[in-house]
Chains A and B, each alone.
Chain A
Amino acid sequence: MTKIHFENQSYLLEPGESVLDCLIRQGVAVEYGCKSGGCQSCKMKVVAGTPTEQSQTGLDDSAREKNYFLPCICVPEQDMKVARPDAVSRDKLETEVLALDMLNHEVLRLRLQRPDNYDYFPGQFLNLYNPEGVGRAYSIASQAEESFLELHIRHVPNGKVSGWANTRLETGDRVIISSAAGDCFYVSGKPEQPLLMIGTGTGLAPLFGILRDALRQNHNGEIHLYHGSSVIEGLYMVDEMRAMADRVENFHYYPCVGQDSVPKGIFSVRENQKALADWSDLSGWRVYLCGHEEMVISTKEKTFLAGASLSDIYSDPFVSAA
């Protein structure tokens, strides 16, 4: 059987069990979030042994080089000695709430002071911690040159972090965030490539960040952004996105709602259905998918079948931690 050595103890893995599940089962206090390789809050370091290839997916090259891995998706076949990441204390940064505005009845736009030397790519996410130390991932909508970090936080009923952020936070409060992570962002190098962006709900946050980053880097291929919600009230920033589409020649915006009767200018169809119907051949395209987990996963398969290469599909399923 496979053994995990951690902080002077060893633990036996059950067949098929992940390193994280094993540590949790044995009552070890470890940090974690989505338990599915998305949020990276459980990131650890391998001190002896080799991490499985899969357990390093989504980590950036530098983290890989440092032998970081994600214990939640690591089912090793050989013994490993693992440790908490060294960066963990440095990874938590205190910052200040600059502004709170509602983008619709349930989505808060939270602007935080950007800490000094805080590096990120728009579209990556950070973990925001509530006063009890519970952390959740939120995507970054602001731009590299802006002095603030912008997050769009939907109020989930009874949500530990989103509820606190939406009802308790005030301007001037101090909050704890992590450094930025994730690989759903704009990569330069192919400015003429057509971009297809599909998001539901606050999936617009990373897309808004990525879109402006692409334009800042003079992306000149056509950019099509489909933003959807099941109900009309779930959309937000519609006027702002429309104005941008009017202003920017290669940018096209499609607000979609899965309801029958919708106001003029809104499409009465699910965002992913419309996008796939509009573009049946996606070979050569780059695709960004953000938001609702099932939408992201099923659309990833459909866009791949429509011709997009897997290495051109960037996706951020908003997996819930609870």
Chain B
Amino acid sequence: MSNSLFERLGGQDAVNAAVELFYRKVLADDRINRFFQGVDMDRQAAKQKAFLTMAFGGPNNYSGEDMRKGHAHLVEQGLDDSHFDAVVENLGSTLTELGIPDDLISEVVAICETTRDDVLCR
């Protein structure tokens, strides 16, 4: 049996390695940084870890309902598919920079896609 995606990516260490790179990209990306500003940075980084753990297929307790609740205030501010795509793009380039092979990145992107409708509250 092959290991889970989370294990193949490197588990919690991979999340820790990715979080600052990813957060920096998001903050520097004018398409989406407004959604991430104005919140305490240490708190925001903790949330990014939760996001990455989930996207890496790691252990988490988030339901689809939680994803709706967690992003509803952003949808009210105009969050749409273009922003979703931008987040996934930043995640992809983060993983490429960390030397993660493309086939694993595709699996991560596929997990993100399963949350699209919930994140966008559709």
Residues of A that sit less than 8 Å from B by CB: 37, 53-54, 57, 300-301, 304-305, 309-310
B:4-61 near A, CB below 8 Å: 20, 23-24, 27-28, 37, 40-43, 45-46
Question: Quick one: given A304-B27, A305-B28, are A310 and B45 in contact (CB under 8 Å)?
Answer: yes
Chain B residues within an 8 Å CB radius of A300: 41
Chain A positions within 8 Å of B27 at CB level:
301, 304-305
| Pair A310/B41 contact, Cβ less than 8 Å | yes
Tell me how many residues of B have a C-beta within 8 Å of chain A: 12
A305 to B24, CA, bound (A): 6
Does A301 contact B43, Cβ atoms closer than 8 Å? no
Q: Give every chain B residue within 8 A of A57 (Cβ-Cβ).
A: 40, 42-43
B70 CB, min distance to chain A CBs, angstroms: 13
A310 touches B46 (CB 8 A): no
**Alpha-carbon distance A309/B20, docked complex (angstroms):** 7
Cα distance A128–B70 in the bound complex, in angstroms: 40
Interface residues of B (CB under 8 A from A): 20, 23-24, 27-28, 37, 40-43, 45-46
Q: Which residues on the B side are within 8 Å of A309 (C-beta)?
A: 20
| A302 to B, closest residue via Cβ | B27
A57 to B46, CA, bound (A): 11
Chain B residues whose C-beta falls within 8 Å of the C-beta of A53 in the assembled complex: 46
Q: Find A301's partner among B20, B41, B46 (CB 8 Å cutoff).
A: B41
A304 touches B24 (CB 8 A): yes
Taking a contact as CB atoms under 8 Å apart, the answer to whether B20 and A310 are in contact is yes
A37→B39 CA distance, assembly (Å): 13
Cα separation A57 to B42 with both chains bound (whole Å): 9
Q: A301 vs B37: C-alpha distance in the bound complex, in angstroms?
A: 9
A309 to B28, CA, bound (A): 15
Which residues on the B side are within 8 Å of A305 (C-beta)? Answer: 24, 27-28
Closest approach, in angstroms, between the C-beta of A61 and any C-beta of chain B? 16
- Complex Cα distance, B93 from A106, in Å, reads 51
Would you list the 5 A-B pairs with minimal beta carbon distance, nearest first?
A54-B43, A310-B45, A305-B24, A309-B20, A305-B28
Point out the residues of chain A lying under 8 angstroms from B23, CB to CB.
Answer: 304, 310
Closest chain-A Cβ to B66's Cβ sits at a distance in Å of 12
Q: Contacts of B46 on A, CB cut-off 8 Å?
A: 53-54
Name the residue of chain B whose CB is nearest to the CB of A313.
B41
Bound state CA distance, A285 and B65, in angstroms? 41
Residues of A within 8 A of B20 (CB): 304, 309-310
**Minimum distance in angstroms from A289 CB to a CB of chain B:** 12
The smallest beta-carbon distance between B65 and chain A, in angstroms, is: 14
Q: Which residue of B lies closest to A308 (CB)?
A: B20
Q: A305-B24, A309-B20, A310-B45 are in contact. List 9 more A-B contacts (CB 8 A).
A: A37-B40, A54-B43, A57-B40, A57-B43, A301-B27, A301-B37, A304-B20, A304-B23, A310-B42
Closest B residue, CB atoms, query A53: B46
Q: Which residue of B lies closest to A307 (CB)?
A: B24
CB neighbours (8 Å) of A304 from chain B are 20, 23-24, 27, 41
